[in-house]
Structure 1
Amino acid sequence: MREWPFRLRPPQIMVLGFGLVIATGTLLLSLPVASQTGHPVAVIDALFTATSATAVTGLNTVDTQTTYSLFGELVILALIQTGGLGFMTLSTLVALLIGKRITLRERLVMQEAMNQLTVEGVVRLSKYVLVFTLLAEGLGAVILSMRFSRQMPLGQAIYFGIFHSVSAFCNAGFDLFSKSLVDYRGDWVVNLVITGLIITGGIGFSVVADIYTKRSWQRLSLHSKIVIRTTLWLILAGTLIILALEYTNAKSLAPLPLSEKVLAAYFQAVTPRTAGFNTLSIADLRPVTLLFIIILMFIGASPGSTGGGIKTSTFAAIAAAVWTIIRGNVDIEVFGRRLPRDTVLKALAIAAVSMLLVVTVTGILLITEGAELETVLFEVTSAFGTVGLSMGLTPRLTVIGKLLISATMFTGRVGPLTLAFAIAQRLGRQGVKHYPEERIIVG
Structure 2
Amino acid sequence: MKKIFSKLTPPQVLTLGFLVIIFVGAFVLRMPMSQQPGVHVNFMDALFTAVSATAITGLTVVNTATTWSTLGQIVLLVMIEIGALGFMTFAVLLFALTGQRLDLKARLMAQQALNLRNLADVKSVLSYVFSLSAIIQLIGAVLMLPDFIPRFGITKGIYLSIASSISSFGNAGFTFFDKPVSFLQNDPYILIIWMLLITAGSLGFLVWRDLLLFYKQQRVSLHTKVAIHVSGWLIGISFVLFLITEKLLAPLMETTSLGNRIVDSLFLAVVPRTAGLEVIPLSNLSAAGIMIITFLMFVGGTPGSTSGGIKTTTLGILWMQSMAALRGQEQVNFGGRRFSQKIVIKAMMLAVISIVFVAVVSLLLTMTEHIPKGQGLEYIVFEVISAFSTTGFSLGLTPHLTSFGKVVIMIVMFIGRVGLYTVMFSVMNIRDKPRKFQYPTEEVIIG
Give CA-to-partner distance per residue, 1:327-358, whole Å, 9 cap, x none: 11010111121100010111111111111111
1:107–1:248 distance in 2 versus 1, CA, 3 Å: closer
Letter in 1 for 2:385: T
Partner of 1:392: 396
Partner of 2:109: 109
Q: Percentage identity across aligned positions?
A: 38
Give CA-to-partner distance per residue, 1:403-423, whole Å, 9 cap, x none: 111111001001234168689
Partner of 2:322: 322
Choose from 431, 434, 437 the match for 2:441.
437
Q: 2: distance between equivalents of 1:59 and 1:215?
A: 40
Q: 1: distance between equivalents of 2:442 and 2:28?
A: 58
Give CA-to-partner distance per residue, 1:11-38, whole Å, 9 cap, x none: 1111100000000011011111111025
Conservation of the 8 A alpha-carbon contact between 1:31 and 1:40: no
Instruction: Please state how far the C-alpha of 1:39 moved relative to its aligned partner.
Output: 4.6
Conservation of the 8 A alpha-carbon contact between 2:299 and 2:310: yes
Instruction: Please state how far the C-alpha of 1:248 moved relative to its aligned partner.
Output: 6.2
Q: 2: distance between equivalents of 1:257 and 1:83?
A: 37
Pairing 1:403–2:407 present: yes
1:364–1:225 distance in 2 versus 1, CA, 3 Å: same
Conservation of the 8 A alpha-carbon contact between 1:195 and 1:271: yes
Where does 1:355-366 land on structure 2 (aligned, <5 Å)? 355-366=355-366
Q: 2: distance between equivalents of 1:299 and 1:83?
A: 19
Q: 2: distance between equivalents of 1:325 and 1:358?
A: 27
1:171–1:163 distance in 2 versus 1, CA, 3 Å: same
SS class of match (2:393): coil
1:253–1:308 distance in 2 versus 1, CA, 3 Å: farther
Pairing 1:282–2:288 present: no
Q: Which moved more, 1:388-397 or 1:296-305?
A: 388-397
Q: 1: distance between equivalents of 2:211 and 2:421?
A: 23
Pairing 1:418–2:422 present: yes
Pairing 1:369–2:369 present: yes
Conservation of the 8 A alpha-carbon contact between 2:59 and 2:393: yes
Give CA-to-partner distance per residue, 1:363-402, whole Å, 9 cap, x none: 1111111213111111111100000111111111111111
Gapped regions of structure 2 (runs ≥ 5): none
Pairing 1:96–2:96 present: yes
Q: 1: distance between equivalents of 2:163 and 2:362?
A: 32
Choose from 376, 382, 385 the match for 1:381.
385
Conservation of the 8 A alpha-carbon contact between 1:167 and 1:173: yes
Partner of 1:204: 204
Letter in 2 for 1:268: L
Letter in 1 for 2:270: V
1:418–1:352 distance in 2 versus 1, CA, 3 Å: same
Q: 2: distance between equivalents of 1:151 and 1:5?
A: 50
Conservation of the 8 A alpha-carbon contact between 1:10 and 1:109: yes
1:310–1:208 distance in 2 versus 1, CA, 3 Å: same
SS class of match (2:80): helix
SS class of match (2:134): helix
Instruction: Please state how far the C-alpha of 1:251 moved relative to its aligned partner.
Output: 3.2
Conservation of the 8 A alpha-carbon contact between 2:389 and 2:416: yes
Partner of 2:311: 311
Instruction: Please state how far the C-alpha of 1:293 moved relative to its aligned partner.
Output: 0.5
Give CA-to-partner distance per residue, 1:191-233, whole Å, 9 cap, x none: 1110100000110101101111123896111100110111111
Q: 1: distance between equivalents of 2:278 and 2:16?
A: 32
SS class of match (1:149): helix
Q: 2: distance between equivalents of 1:38 and 1:258?
A: 44
Q: 2: distance between equivalents of 1:82 and 1:310?
A: 21
Conservation of the 8 A alpha-carbon contact between 1:55 and 1:83: yes
SS class of match (1:46): helix
Q: Which moved more, 1:240-249 or 1:336-345?
A: 240-249
Where does 1:85-234 land on structure 2 (aligned, <5 Å)? 85-215=85-215, 219-234=219-234
SS class of match (2:137): helix
Gapped regions of structure 1 (runs ≥ 5): none
Instruction: Please state how far the C-alpha of 1:146 moved relative to its aligned partner.
Output: 2.1
Conservation of the 8 A alpha-carbon contact between 2:358 and 2:385: yes
Letter in 2 for 1:119: L
Q: Which moved more, 1:4-13 or 1:70-79?
A: 4-13
Partner of 1:65: 65
Partner of 1:14: 14
Partner of 1:45: 45
Partner of 1:341: 341
RMSD over equivalenced CA pairs, Å: 2.1
Letter in 2 for 1:143: L
Partner of 1:76: 76
Q: 2: distance between equivalents of 1:342 and 1:363?
A: 31
Instruction: Please state how far the C-alpha of 1:254 moved relative to its aligned partner.
Output: 7.8
